[in-house]
Structure 1
Amino acid sequence: MVREYIEVSKPEIEDLRKSFLDEVSSKGNDSIHPKDLQRVKTDDDWLRRFYLHQEKNQEKAREMMWSSISWRKEQNVNEINEDTVNKEILCSGAFSIHGEDVDGCKLLVFKCNKHTKGAIDVNIVKQCIIYWFERLERTTKGDFCSIFFDMEGCGLSNMDMDVIKYLIGLFNSYYPYFLNYILIFEMPWVLTAAFKIVKTLLPEKAKEKIKFISKKDISTFVPTEHIITSWGGKNPYVFSFVPETFPDQEKEKVVVSNNNKKVHFVDGSMSEQAAAATTAEKESDGGFLKVTPPGIITFVKDGNELISTLELQNADDSIHVSYKLKTTSPEKFRVKPSTGCLAPGETVVVNVTLFPGFQLGGLSRDKFLVMSTPMETSELDNLDLPELWKNTSGRKLYQHRLKCIQSGEVTKNGNVTVTAPTAAETDQSSISQLSSTISEIRTAQIELRQSVKITQYFQMVTLFLVLILGVVVGYMARNSKDTSSEHPYCNHP
């Protein structure tokens, strides 16, 4: 579904704006949030989306604007950020933005098996969903996106109708002209009936956007390069929460300290010190290499390991770039690959794993240094990366410094010792676990009751068939006896 650009004239937008602002004047400026009021006055594209969502019906567009902007004030949408939402949900990977669909629209991924109905208050979950919608809208500048329900491994306890209806309802009521596809990936058969109920609650336009896909046909809607391994592809991406960056924020730089403090990055390490000078020319920015996420490495639980991923991209379209990762604690981390060379525009995913047996609480003291240097064409024929990084004399070296953090979801990694949580965190964790356990027991009880009913039904059917068969066999036996007496094979004198 390629987004069709429909022209909306400037006079049409101005008419909608004037109509809305007249209503604001009659109700008072405090009836909507100041940021949204300013957006109405200056953002033509936002108004255009309301206009198109209602098929260029100005009255309906104005009503939707009022409904949406009133909702935004009631929910304090403009105040929602990473610091105000639940960190456990934010870092769990239940929601994320990753990849694009075949039309180039960003994917908002809901990994359903990361969510258990009732484990966390639904209003807290909804607040986190709003955070991701707002972030996605800023990322795409209001262009279409698709919502990807990753339902592999889900059970009835993960099927939260309220959350699913809320997600789709946001597109329908509060985020105009924003939805491309609703992709349902690997939906278990036990949830088919539940999703049929969801479809009945959707408007016809939304029903047309729903596409059920599996690993066999996912490439029909998601390009191969964006299909991660858990979806049957080769993209090694693993979720790691990346804080949002804004255009007006200063670009992450590696600034050498002025207080003679040393930071040692081991592996033929260099120490950074203001008074020290090296033969290599160090640049304060990241040069040609783009590092995502910038500035941090977030470790999350994946099975029995704590891992994080970095994406390194050669942002130049003509120069090869070599990179090398160093850490202050090489005994604690496995980094693959730690060195390499990127062609123009090429991207590589680096996996960083924390070895078992180390204190998670000490992660904040650990740092990584991503170094890069441009390569001459003549160097590529006989490239020896270890030798290149042993002798960097005379080369331009660009640097990114990364700080390690752990996500709120992390609890244990094999033998890893976790620092003691606060009493409040312990209570909240216990309540969440108890709620989750009760929900699972309730679900299991319902499934067991259904199984018993089905078994009883089949028993009754079987008994009925046996009775019918008995009657038929008895009738045939009696009929056969009567026939034999009427037509004897031998007549005796």
Structure 2
Amino acid sequence: MENQAQLVSDLREKFLQKLDEEGPPDPSGFHPADIARIKNQDDWLRRFLEHNDFRLEDSLKMLWETCEWRKKFGTNDITLENLRRDYLEDGVCFSYGQDKDGRKLFIVKSKLHVKGSREFPELQRCIVYWFERLEREGNGNQISLFFDMAEAGLSNMDMEFTKYLIGLFKNYYPNYLNLIIIFEMPWVLNAAFKIIKSWLPAKAIPKIKFVNKSNLKEYVDPNIALKSWGGKSEYTFTFVPEEQINLNTSNGKVDNNKKVHFAENSPMSEQPSSTFGDQQKNEESMLAIEPELLVFRKEGNEVMGTISLKNITSDKCLSYKIKTTSPEKFRVRPSTGILMPSQQCVVTVVLQPGFSLRGLLQNDRFLVMCLPMTDAKMSPQELTDFWKSVGKGAEEHRLVCREGSLDNIEILKSSASYSSMSSGVANDRSLEGLFSKISRLEDRHNKLYNEILALKRMLLVSVILIVLLSICICYILRIDIRNSLEQESHGMYDCDVQDIHN
């Protein structure tokens, strides 16, 4: 133990020394959170040493490359607000239960994934989100990778996806893998898994366990195993945000506040919403927003939405400012401005090129703030400085986004307004669930469509093969018949010759 403690100290010292002498590869430096872990968390450094069999130089190299990757990938900055929420909710990857070693299971449900059906960079970010979340929940303990391959076929075998998973364990999450449990792997995928095994280091090969319903109990308790695995658990996956798992505070009360980070790194506390926009409507409201839901539609080559802001006071000059949780996705025109008493203006929000409309907007939020001001003739720079100088106290209105192609958007809005009067918080959550279900149905529709196309191609190939086989058989039979006739003809000729000689 003393030797391990000394190695941890040496690894820390060598890393910090290299950082001082060479500097980080990125001019902006490594992420401060990772540097803090290196300085303060012995357990994290010990994992690098254990992963590399306590070889100090190899551990230093891996630690350096891990910090470089985390900075470049933005690992520490991944939140639910900048992820594809529909990817997290569709159940391809999720965490449930634990193995018999007490390690959390990270489950990959193969039959729900088809190569190319999802944007791979976004899928990578979702995987890293789960790895980081499980590290936090398990205090850095190992996890077991569980491939649920029941009912999976060749179309579900994504080698790039699997290689990425293995690469995370191998290169950036040291000593993090307990077991690789492969449940009911179809025989047609045997060749693929031989390739996958070649990507693993030699000491990881024994961690692979091929199981079925009869022997899964050796690695997962039957009370934890799902019924589809032959176990007793009736668990059905539903994505639960990480902050909702730890809602109970020390006094046993539930804290429903949720942090949402808007542009300019300004965290705002978002209360559970009772209407579409979660507006702060009271007798002292100064700003009115129409509509309460930011709806995006395609107009020409742009995808945009508009909102109308109105100063509903008769004696106050207002300044407004608009922030978003995803500044990289949206362009707001204008994002700040001044409204005279009773004045109204229209703000346009444009979705930046390169971002997909469908399924993307459900997690995005906009914050509209306003404050009374005395000088109505501020320049744009003075207005920017004004908002930098003000503290708390601004009136806030929160807006959620939706895609405008949904024909029943007005019905949903009316239903939401009615339900908000009777059920409050439950309304917005049920609406979010409805849009999530629509997104999942679209994904499944696309999957079924792709599978039907694959079946049609296979049927066409089968028909062609049958025709070719029939032609070959006819050709072979024809040759056999002709050879038989020729042999019979030669035999008769030989008999005639013999009779003549006699």
TM range (shorter): 0.5 to 0.7
C-alpha displacement at 1:156, in angstroms? 3.0
Moved more, 218-227 or 150-159: 150-159
Provide the residue aligned with 1:67 in structure 2.
65
Cα distance in 1 between the residues matched to 2:462 and 2:88: 36
Cα distance in 2 between the residues matched to 1:16 and 1:215: 45
Moved more, 143-152 or 44-53: 143-152
C-alpha displacement at 1:182, in angstroms? 1.1
Cα distance in 2 between the residues matched to 1:173 and 1:203: 11
* One-letter amino acid matched to 1:46: W
Using structure 1 for the length normalisation, give the TM-score.
0.57
CA contact 1:151–1:187 (8 Å) conserved in 2? yes
Provide the residue aligned with 2:20 in structure 1.
25
Q: What pairs with 1:386-425 in structure 2 (closer than 5 Å)?
A: 405-406=429-430, 410=434
CA contact 2:12–2:45 (8 Å) conserved in 1? yes
Provide the residue aligned with 1:175 in structure 2.
173
C-alpha displacement at 1:466, in angstroms? 5.2
Cα distance in 2 between the residues matched to 1:7 and 1:444: 62
CA contact 1:228–1:235 (8 Å) conserved in 2? yes
Q: What pairs with 1:354-365 in structure 2 (closer than 5 Å)?
A: none
Cα distance in 2 between the residues matched to 1:412 and 1:44: 41
* Higher RCO structure (Cα 8 Å, ≥6 apart): 1
Cα distance in 1 between the residues matched to 2:191 and 2:469: 21
Determine which of 139, 142, 150 is the counterpart of 2:140. 142
Moved more, 181-190 or 40-49: 181-190
Provide the residue aligned with 1:197 in structure 2.
195
Cα distance in 1 between the residues matched to 2:2 and 2:474: 69
C-alpha displacement at 1:219, in angstroms? 1.4
Q: Aligned-pair RMSD on alpha carbons?
A: 4.2
Q: What pairs with 1:213-362 in structure 2 (closer than 5 Å)?
A: 213-245=211-243, 250=249, 253-254=252-253
SS of residue in 2 equivalent to 1:99: strand
CA contact 1:88–1:408 (8 Å) conserved in 2? no
C-alpha displacement at 1:365, in angstroms? 7.0
1:46 aligned onto 2:44: yes
* One-letter amino acid matched to 2:179: Y
Change in 2 beyond 3 A, CA 1:44/1:465: farther
Cα distance in 2 between the residues matched to 1:120 and 1:58: 40
CA contact 2:222–2:231 (8 Å) conserved in 1? yes
SS of residue in 2 equivalent to 1:31: coil
Change in 2 beyond 3 A, CA 1:171/1:405: same
SS of residue in 1 equivalent to 2:242: coil
CA contact 1:88–1:407 (8 Å) conserved in 2? no
Determine which of 33, 39, 51 is the counterpart of 1:35. 33
Cα distance in 2 between the residues matched to 1:56 and 1:480: 86
Cα distance in 2 between the residues matched to 1:433 and 1:235: 25
Change in 2 beyond 3 A, CA 1:255/1:50: closer
Cα distance in 1 between the residues matched to 2:10 and 2:4: 10
SS of residue in 1 equivalent to 2:117: coil
Using structure 2 for the length normalisation, give the TM-score.
0.56
Cα distance in 2 between the residues matched to 1:184 and 1:457: 39
Determine which of 12, 15, 31 is the counterpart of 2:10. 15
CA contact 1:118–1:435 (8 Å) conserved in 2? no
Cα distance in 2 between the residues matched to 1:154 and 1:46: 36
C-alpha displacement at 1:442, in angstroms? 6.2
C-alpha displacement at 1:130, in angstroms? 0.3
Provide the residue aligned with 1:125 in structure 2.
123
1:247-278 C-alpha deviation (Å, 9 max, x unpaired): 7984585589xxxxxxxxxxxxxxxxxxxxxx
Report percent identity of matched pairs: 36
1:25-77 C-alpha deviation (Å, 9 max, x unpaired): 12336431100000000110111110010111100000000111110111111
CA contact 1:32–1:73 (8 Å) conserved in 2? yes
C-alpha displacement at 1:200, in angstroms? 2.8
SS of residue in 2 equivalent to 1:61: helix
Change in 2 beyond 3 A, CA 1:474/1:235: farther
C-alpha displacement at 1:457, in angstroms? 7.3
* One-letter amino acid matched to 1:9: Q
SS of residue in 2 equivalent to 1:9: helix
CA contact 1:93–1:239 (8 Å) conserved in 2? yes
1:143-186 C-alpha deviation (Å, 9 max, x unpaired): 22111111222233322221111111100110000101111112
C-alpha displacement at 1:205, in angstroms? 2.8
Change in 2 beyond 3 A, CA 1:364/1:163: farther
C-alpha displacement at 1:190, in angstroms? 3.1
CA contact 1:144–1:178 (8 Å) conserved in 2? yes
5+ long unaligned stretches in structure 2: 256-414, 497-502
CA contact 2:89–2:436 (8 Å) conserved in 1? no
CA contact 1:199–1:207 (8 Å) conserved in 2? yes
Higher helix share: 2
Provide the residue aligned with 1:110 in structure 2.
108
* One-letter amino acid matched to 2:126: C
SS of residue in 1 equivalent to 2:194: helix
Change in 2 beyond 3 A, CA 1:9/1:194: closer
C-alpha displacement at 1:93, in angstroms? 1.5
1:210-236 C-alpha deviation (Å, 9 max, x unpaired): 222222222122111111112121111
C-alpha displacement at 1:206, in angstroms? 3.0
Cα distance in 2 between the residues matched to 1:460 and 1:176: 59
